[in-house]
């Protein structure tokens, strides 16, 4: 799960998809490689709350400053190991029936002193969903993100336009424009009540096609 930027809704989609998988009896785990802005922000804890299960999510590293991970680590004197983050994500993938790895900010965010978020995404070699804003400006940001992923050999399963209301011409035309320009399926997720875990999972399950979550229902 990657985003075109920070704050676009990656955590909402991660929680919704993980909860959706849990509802179908699939042992799914959400993984946050590195969380900054702790304790105010804690995406793994949010996923746990939505799923009602402390085992539903894990975070490999937590840092206080609300900055890019590499910058937050430098500012606090912490050494972030790319190899440790990569091996931790791979271990989670191997140990779970299904794994949703949530990115940090956008693809070119400095992850460690030597690597960016896009490096982790490419090295994990998992199919990826792109989460983007719904309104004006998202065409460029989404196209650049999809292009960067494909350049690194990452399979883009689809794009989700978050907090979609269709209130403007830009919003109403963006899904088709993104599909046509990038040859990628697009789903739209309306604003959801993030305080209500069941409603959030319901909304994601209703808005996204089955293939976006990557695991078919038992018996399908």
Distance from C-alpha of 181 to C-alpha of 173, rounded to nearest angstrom: 12
The verdict on whether 32 is a catalytic residue reads yes
- Do the annotations mark residue 104 as ligand-binding? yes
Distance from C-alpha of 167 to C-alpha of 189, rounded to nearest angstrom: 13
Q: At what angle do helices 10-23 and 43-51 cross, to 10 degrees?
A: 30
Decide: 116 and 108 in contact? Cβ < 8 Å: yes
- Do the annotations mark residue 43 as ligand-binding? yes
- Do the annotations mark residue 58 as ligand-binding? no
- Do the annotations mark residue 103 as ligand-binding? yes
- Do the annotations mark residue 105 as ligand-binding? yes
- Do the annotations mark residue 11 as ligand-binding? yes
Annotated catalytic residue, options 3, 17, 29, 32: 32
- List all residues 6 or more positions away from 180 whose beta carbon is below 8 Å from its beta carbon: none
- Do the annotations mark residue 125 as ligand-binding? no
- Do the annotations mark residue 192 as ligand-binding? yes
Decide: 107 and 149 in contact? Cβ < 8 Å: yes
- Do the annotations mark residue 24 as ligand-binding? no
- Do the annotations mark residue 177 as ligand-binding? no
- Do the annotations mark residue 185 as ligand-binding? no
Tokens of 45: 């804890």
- Do the annotations mark residue 36 as ligand-binding? yes
Q: Which residues are annotated as a binding site for Mg(2+)?
A: 11, 43, 102
Q: Which residues are annotated as a binding site for substrate?
A: 36
Q: Which residues are annotated as a binding site?
A: 7-12, 36, 43, 102-105, 162-163, 190-192
Q: Which residues are annotated as a binding site for ATP?
A: 7-12, 43, 102-105, 162-163, 190-192
Residues involved in catalysis: 32
């Amino acid at each position: 799960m990657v985003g075109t930027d920070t704050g676009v809704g990656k955590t909402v989609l991660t929680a919704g998809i993980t909860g959706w998988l849990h509802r179908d009896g699939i042992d799914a785990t959400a993984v946050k490689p590195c969380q900054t802005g702790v304790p105010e922000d804690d995406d793994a804890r949010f996923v746990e709350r939505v799923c009602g299960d402390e085992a539903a999510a894990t975070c490999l590293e937590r840092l206080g400053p609300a900055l890019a991970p590499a910058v937050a680590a430098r500012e606090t004197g912490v050494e972030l190991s790319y190899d440790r983050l990569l091996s931790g994500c791979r271990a989670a993938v191997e140990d779970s029936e299904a794994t949703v790895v949530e990115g940090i900010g956008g693809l070119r965010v400095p992850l460690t002193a030597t690597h960016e978020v896009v490096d982790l995404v490419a090295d994990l070699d998992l199919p990826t969903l792109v989460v983007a804003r719904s309104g004006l400006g998202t065409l460029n940001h989404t196209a650049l993100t999809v292009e960067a992923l494909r350049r690194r050999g990452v399979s883009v399963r689809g794009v989700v336009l978050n907090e979609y209301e269709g209130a403007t011409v830009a919003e109403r035309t963006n899904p088709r424009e993104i599909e046509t320009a990038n040859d990628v399926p697009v789903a739209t997720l309306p604003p959801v009540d993030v305080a209500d875990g069941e409603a959030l999972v319901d909304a994601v399950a209703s808005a996204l096609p089955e293939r976006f979550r990557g695991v078919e229902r038992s018996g399908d």
